[in-house]
Amino acid sequence: MAFAAFATTEAQPQAPKRKSRIALFLLLPGILYMVLFFLTPLISLILTSLQAPNEFGDIGVYDYAFNWQNYVTVVQEYWPHILRSFGYALVATVLALAFSYPLAYFIGVKARRWPLLQSVMLVLVIAPFFISFLLRTLAWKQLLSDESFIITSLKALSLMAPDAHFTGTPAAVIFGLTYNFIPFMTLPLYTTLERLDLRYLEAGSDLYANPFTVFRKVTIPLSMPGIVAGTLLTFIPAAGDYVNASRDFLGGPDTQMMGNVIEANFLVLLNYPAAAALSIILMAAILVLVGIYVRRSGTEDLL
Amino acid sequence: MSVSVREFAERGADLELVGIQKRFPGFTAIEELDLTIPAGSFFALLGPSGCGKTTTLRLVAGLEEPTRGRILIGGTDVTETKAHQRPVNTVFQSYALFPHMSIIENVAFGLRRRRIGDADARAHEALRLVELDHLAQRRPAQLSGGQQQRVALARAIVNRPALLLLDEPLGALDLKLRRQMQLELKTIQEEVGLTFLHVTHDQEEAMTMADTVAVMNKGSIEQMGAPEQLYELPRTVFVANFLGQSNLFTGRVAGTTDTAIAVDVQGTRLVVPTTRAARHQGEVTIGVRPEKVALHRDAPAVSPSRNVLGPGHVIDVSFSGVSTQYIVSITGVGTVTVFAQNIGIGPIASEGDEVWVSWDVEHGFGLDDDPADAGKFAADDDTHAIAVQRREALVAELEES
Amino acid sequence: MSGEVQAAAVLGGLQESEQLEDSGHRGGRVRRQRIGLGDWLLPVYTVLAFVFLLIPIVYTLVFSFNDSIKSNISWRGFTFDKWLNVCNVEGGAVCEAFANSIVIGLVATVIATTLGTMIAIALVRYRFRARSSISLLLFLPMATPEVVLGAGLAAQFLAVGVPKDMTTIILAHTMFCISFVVVTVKARVASLDPALEEAGRDLYGSPSQVFWRVTFPLLVPGILAAALLSFALSFDDFIITNFNSGSVSTFPKYIYISASRGIPAEANVIASAVFLFALVLVIVAQVSRAARAKRLAKLS
């Protein structure tokens, strides 16, 4: 009766087709967006990096060309900045890891008995996210300026030479990078350590390993996914950062990184091909480094 | 009779599966299945994991589409309809209660979708049936496993489906709760008179609850019938071993009378009534249930109404309170398992003792399997699955005691 | 990536993480050992680490009350003035930048959350050939330095001849937010028990009813967390904004530009207000979650 009536209302054979139409409907807008505003910009960045100056010599006007010498020029001109970018980022990443690991270990492992304390500490770790990172960096600039309490005390204790500065030095830039990316390091470390099954550690000490060996042979390997994720989350933005190294923040004339010269070439000098070439170099170098790193640490499935 | 999802089923409906085949990419879940479940019955599909029983259930629910074949409910072909268009409801293995809705919203969900009036009143009524009306405003996460199971049941039966599907709904419960729920389910089925299709791997559950049990193996039904019938007269090695335990012997038919066949098992003649034997000539497999076998310290007198094997040696005795299990090794025949009621005090034989075993001729059965196939079957993965299942059952029993 | 996602989760306190409830099952009990060096070294270190992490925040909060004249560098006395007259400085430039940031954040969040959620559902629920390349397309922006993303978009707008304004900022922010939304929501979709949707179908729900009454409500916590993350990322973004904003000011851009001539205390006021607002939000979410967990524990 009625049942038979609606049995015919919906034709079945089109089901797979309809399914793929739904998938297409769900994917198309977003994917189109990403192609339009991520993929094509990358392509136009490559095209821009090969542009040649306008034949009439107008400033900021370039013609499409295959001017690969742009790359040679920027490497020759900016190789100290390139080295600085990766050097600073590397040191900052190592420092952030050294700072974050014990912190994440305490929150994720030692504090398991007190869930409330654990969540309070987690909120404190991400609290810096709630306040503009520019203001945080400026706060450090004031706190570490030559007239500040910290620096004058250090000088009084003869831990610093009387005429030395902290802001404007490479150390200050690395300090700023480390500070700003600590939460990005701590959170993934916390996630893996929080899931660490302590019975493995007990098994390790049961099998005659001393605490240090247990840490080296059991804890560290088991927290590898967090270490890899944290170092990537720190290294990539640190290498491209230009706020910390900027002269108005923690940097000085001799601390400029790739980000600074990309910004200067793009927004001030209007030398778009140079900025684009530097960007491509930065991205390619990061992709290669990340690829090698991920492969070596054996955590490819993480991506 | 045909049923609309816009109205309640007056009573359960027949379910008919005709020539069903279901292939998934890479494997075939159901090779060829024909099955008729009469209206108002409590039907159990019993089998080890991976035998295709859950796939069968999902096909009936409309959650999967058959590769081939037809599904009829109450005589109406529903093969082409979707899950939400079928007068069928499921109690899911994980209960699948909507965590973001209260209990009452969960139970009324189906009624509201079908725009049936008085949804709340009917939902409360269904909750009263499972004695959980006082928890109507709670969320599923606030209920215990047994309570969730009852809500899932109420959510299904409130729709008065022509057919109620139960997908191992008791699997997650502990033994005591399971017993209680089994009883409750059976009572509800009798009260509301629906057709129940119950899928389970628990033979005891299937036998205590269902009036018809179909034993499934490797995507097809091995044997179907009332629980007593299946147990007393298994037709295949798989059924003989999956449903309880069996002592099986293989031999050639050496003689036939009007009422019985005699099988030569390594020189010993074992007699089985003709009516209880599926094959009457050639190589056959016969068997007897361990609790039907008697253990003797002395050679029993030869009698035409009893089969006797022996002498043999007791190689294992395990005492379990109510009964004692003896394993007797008989040269040339193999091992025979005996369950003896613990009528006296303590075991009647100990390891190494010389004993005989005997059973009433009327208790033997002859299987339909070709012994050659049965031999192959013994090496199959599925027997391993059965072994694992047995061990789990044993562990569960151990935990209970 | 995961760090940001967790930040969002904690930020919202909305993802029902089993972290707290589960800890017991993973050998959560730390066996009591001899009181040794390690027993107080780690807690002391943790306290010091938090002091270090929070110093600049406290500094920023304190200097929002500084009775400064122009640049807010040295302490000149306590005042509420800056809090009461936030918009009165430089013709309200700070407030205008702040309002722009809010508008940009909201619009980018709505678009990114919608598009990202749709992609996340499709990625988990449907199998198609281009799946891995689409995943790569969504992952890559998160592995690309912001300066490259910013420069790329700027080069694109330049090539096409689009003038930089509010729209270009929104377009840029939406782009990098989509990736984070996909990651966050995808995890939620993948953790959904498929039996719930099947139960919806079994209980006479049509495909659209099942989606809106079962699937979507269950995804809401993940979608909300993704939206909060998007807004936070957009609101705090400076690098990409700097390349694509033209003459439009946002709050971070305002700070960057003012840095050379001194930041007015009003900027501290706004940053502090945002900080306190977010903190209250998180605390409320955490407390209500803890209360809910407690209620559940009591009942079962």
Amino acid B8: pLDDT: 60
Give the type of residue at B242: F
Same domain, B22 and B140: yes
Same domain, B209 and B341: no
pLDDT of A283 strictly over 80: yes
Is residue B41 assigned to a domain?
yes
What DSSP assignment string belongs to B152-187?
HHHHHHTT--SEEEEESTTTTS-HHHHHHHHHHHHH
Do the Cβ atoms of A138 and C175 come within 8 Å?
no
* Chain C hits for B138, Cβ within 8 Å: 299
Q: What percent of chain A has pLDDT over 90?
A: 38
Domain that holds residue B206: 15-229
Is residue B378 assigned to a domain?
no
* Chain C hits for B100, Cβ within 8 Å: 217-218
For A172-188, what is the mean pLDDT?
94
Q: For an interface test with C, which of B90, B107, B116, B134 has the most C Cβ atoms less than 10 Å from its Cβ?
A: B90
Asked if B3 reaches chain A (Cβ–Cβ under 8 Å), the answer is yes
Q: From CA A45, how far away is CA B307, in angstroms rounded?
A: 92
Contacts of C269 (CB under 8 A, 6+ apart): C64, C82, C83, C86
Amino acid C299: pLDDT: 59
Domain ranges of chain C: 2-33+92-264
Same domain, B273 and B214: no
Residue B223, token pair as written in the block: 């044997």
**What does DSSP say about strands B88-91 and B260-265: parallel, antiparallel, or unpaired?**
unpaired
Do the Cβ atoms of B5 and C201 come within 8 Å?
no
Q: What percent of chain A has pLDDT over 70?
A: 90
Q: From CA B149, how far away is CA B153, in angstroms rounded?
A: 6
| Range with the largest mean pLDDT of A58-62, B148-152, B320-324, C29-33 | B148-152
Q: Environment class of residue B87 by beta-carbon count within 10 Å: exposed (0-12), middle (13-18) or buried (19+)?
A: buried
- Among B181, B202, B229, which residue terminates a domain? B229
Same domain, B60 and B159: yes
Of B65, B77, B85, the CB nearest to A6: B85
What DSSP assignment string belongs to B244-279?
S--EEEEEEEEEE-SSEEEEEETTEEEEEEGGGBS-
Q: From CA C11, how far away is CA C14, in angstroms rounded?
A: 8
Q: From CA B298, how far away is CA B311, in angstroms rounded?
A: 9
Same domain, B216 and B251: no
Domains and CATH numbers, chain A: 78-302 (1.10.3720.10)
User: In chain C, whose CA is at the least distance from the CA of B167?
Assistant: C195
Of B4, B65, B82, the CB nearest to A3: B4
Same domain, B137 and B269: no
Query: Would you give the end-to-end CA distance of chain C in angstroms?
Result: 36
pLDDT of C172 strictly over 70: yes
Amino acid A15: pLDDT: 44
Is residue B179 assigned to a domain?
yes
User: In chain C, whose CA is at the least distance from the CA of A234?
Assistant: C3
The subunits that touch chain A, with at least 3 C-beta pairs less than 8 Å apart, are B, C
Q: Residue C7: pLDDT band by 50, 70, 90 thresholds? A: low
Q: From CA A159, how far away is CA C207, in angstroms rounded?
A: 71
* Chain A hits for C274, Cβ within 8 Å: 130-132
User: In chain A, whose CA is at the least distance from the CA of C125?
Assistant: A23
Asked if C127 reaches chain B (Cβ–Cβ under 8 Å), the answer is no
Compute the nearest-CA separation of B83 from chain C (Å).
5
| Model pLDDT for residues B307-355, shown as the tens digit of each residue | 999 789 999 998 888 888 999 999 888 889 999 888 877 778 888 899 9
H or E element in which residue B227 lies? helix B227-232
CATH code of B162's domain: 3.40.50.300
How many C-beta neighbours within 10 Å does residue B120 have? Answer: 15
Is residue B75 assigned to a domain?
yes
Amino acid B399: pLDDT: 59
Tell me the pTM: 0.80
Collect contacts of C133-140 with beta carbons under 8 A, ≥24 apart: C134/A27, C134/A31, C137/A31, C137/A34, C137/A35, C137/A38, C137/A39, C138/A34, C138/C178, C138/C179, C138/C182, C138/C183, C139/A303, C139/C179, C140/A38
Is residue B60 assigned to a domain?
yes
Amino acid A179: pLDDT: 95
The number of residues in chain A equals 303
The answer for C 200-239 residues in CB contact with A (under 8 A) is: 232, 236, 238-239
The class level of CATH for C2-33+92-264 reads mainly alpha
Q: What is the full per-residue pLDDT of chain B (401 aa) written as tens digits?
A: 344 555 566 567 889 999 999 988 778 888 888 999 988 888 999 988 888 888 999 999 999 999 999 999 988 899 998 888 898 999 998 889 999 999 999 999 999 998 888 899 999 998 988 889 999 999 998 898 888 988 998 999 898 888 899 988 776 677 777 777 777 777 777 777 788 899 998 888 888 888 899 999 888 889 999 999 999 999 999 999 888 889 999 999 988 888 899 999 888 889 999 999 888 888 899 999 999 999 998 888 888 889 999 789 999 998 888 888 999 999 888 889 999 888 877 778 888 899 999 999 999 999 988 776 544 333 334 445 555 556 666 666 665 55
Of C20, C236, C268, the CB nearest to A119: C20
How many C-beta neighbours within 10 Å does residue B219 have? Answer: 22
Average pLDDT score, chain A: 85
What is the number of structural domains in chain B? 2
- Measure Cα distances from B134 to A156, B128, B156, B173 in Å: 74, 8, 19, 22
| Model pLDDT for residues C95-126, shown as the tens digit of each residue | 889 999 999 999 999 999 999 999 999 998 88
Average pLDDT score, chain C: 83
Do the Cβ atoms of B80 and A4 come within 8 Å?
no
| Model pLDDT for residues A200-233, shown as the tens digit of each residue | 888 888 888 888 888 888 888 889 989 998 999 8
Compute the nearest-CA separation of B134 from chain C (Å).
14
Asked if B87 reaches chain A (Cβ–Cβ under 8 Å), the answer is yes
Of C198, C206, C296, the CB nearest to B141: C296
The answer for C 43-72 residues in CB contact with A (under 8 A) is: 43, 45-46, 49-50, 52-57, 59-60, 63
| Model pLDDT for residues C190-242, shown as the tens digit of each residue | 888 889 999 999 999 998 999 999 999 999 989 998 999 899 999 989 999 99
Same domain, B169 and B254: no
Do the Cβ atoms of B4 and A12 come within 8 Å?
no
B-C contacts (CB, under 8 Å): 70
| Model pLDDT for residues C64-97, shown as the tens digit of each residue | 888 777 777 777 778 877 788 778 777 778 888 9
Same domain, B171 and B320: no
Do the Cβ atoms of A7 and B81 come within 8 Å?
yes
Is residue B336 assigned to a domain?
yes
Amino acid A204: pLDDT: 83
Q: Residue C30: pLDDT band by 50, 70, 90 thresholds? A: very low
Of B96, B138, B144, the CB nearest to C196: B96
Do the Cβ atoms of A290 and C271 come within 8 Å?
no
Q: What is the CA radius of gyration of chain A?
A: 26
pLDDT of A127 strictly over 90: no
Amino acid B393: pLDDT: 62
Is residue B61 assigned to a domain?
yes
Amino acid C292: pLDDT: 77
Amino acid C32: pLDDT: 46
Asked if C155 reaches chain B (Cβ–Cβ under 8 Å), the answer is no
